[in-house]
Every structure is written in C-alpha cells, then in structure tokens.
Amino acid sequence: MVGMSYAAVPLYRLYCQATGLGGSAVAGHDSDQIETMEPVKDRIIKVTFNADVHASLHWNFRPQQTEIYVVPGETALAFYKAKNSTDKPVIGISTYNVVPFEAGQYFNKIQCFCFEEQRLNPQEEVDMPVFFFIDPEFAEDPRMASVDLITLSYTFFEAKGGHKLPLPGYQ
C-alpha cells in the first residue's frame, strides 16, 4: 500500500459526487457563477501542465499540450493521456497541485479525472480531460498582479480497489 501519506485522497473521494464544497476555507463554485462570469480579456495567463506517476504505477501518463493561454472568466479544456503499459488491469487515482500556491485558490476545476479511481485495462490508453477556469477575481487581486504563469501538475498512483484507508478526524 502506498501509505498514510496519501490519506487525503479518499477524503476527497467523498466529495467528488457532491457539489464540490471541500469543507475547508474555500468557497464553492456553482454553475451560476460560470454562467454570468465575463472573461477578463486583457489578462492573459499561461497555464502549463505537468504529469507524474508514483514509482509503483506503470502507466505512461503525460499532458497532451505543454501550455494553454487562457484569461480569467473563460472556461478552458486541456487533455492528459494515460496508458496502462502492463498486462494487467490497473486502477489509478490522481491528485493535483497548482503553483504558485496563492493562485491555486482561483484555479477552479469544473470537471476532471482526479480523486476518482480510474481503471485501465492492459495496454489501454485513454484521453483524460480537465475542464477548468480561472476565477475572474484573480484579475482584481493585487497579489496576483505579477502572476502570468500557473502550472497544473497531476500525479497518478495506484489505488488498491476496495481498500479503505481510515479517514483522519475530519470535521
């Protein structure tokens, strides 16, 4: 088993089917915001993509684009690709990271492939989309004035299906 260091993952599995409120000091984002938000067209941000796998996961996992140029308030699509290069089905699960840290609060994933177990059959390769937007409030935050590069990193590791990790005392 990968170990307790990844205990945060099943924590978020509980919330994946819900409306997205993670319980921490972060506001939920609803469809009304997406419907009414206006793109901040003069604020171009470069989003770059990293992909990693844990050493024990024999998947070929990589982004399908090195970068995308977006503006706050505009929904954007990007793709990763994963291939199970073994001869057995493998279940993977991923988490992500955003740098710079302070920009992460403005990075909103509408839908992606993280925090849910993903099963790939032997030699199977799939596209993995990420649908996201940068909150328009990013453009109004003086701390973000010099941020024009955001890096999204996904890391996949193997999930042992059915294995339940004890949840830390959440709530």
Contacting positions for another protein (CB under 8 A) = 5-6, 8, 12, 15-17, 19-20, 22, 24, 26, 28-31, 34-35, 37, 39, 41, 50, 52, 64-71, 74-77, 79, 95-99, 101, 104, 108-116, 118-121, 124, 126-129, 131, 133, 151, 153, 155
In whole angstroms, give the CA distance from residue 30 to residue 127: 26
Residues sharing a CB contact under 8 Å with residue 126, sequence separation 6 or more, in sequence order: 81, 82, 83, 118, 120
Least distance from C-beta 34 to another protein, angstroms? 5
Choice between 89 and 160, CB closer to another protein = 89
Least distance from C-beta 8 to another protein, angstroms? 7
Least distance from C-beta 24 to another protein, angstroms? 6
Q: Give the count of beta carbons closer than 10 Å to the beta carbon of residue 126.
A: 14
Evaluate the CA torsion angle 15, 92, 6, 163 in order and state its sign.
positive
Least distance from C-beta 30 to another protein, angstroms? 8
- DSSP 8-state code for residue 165: P
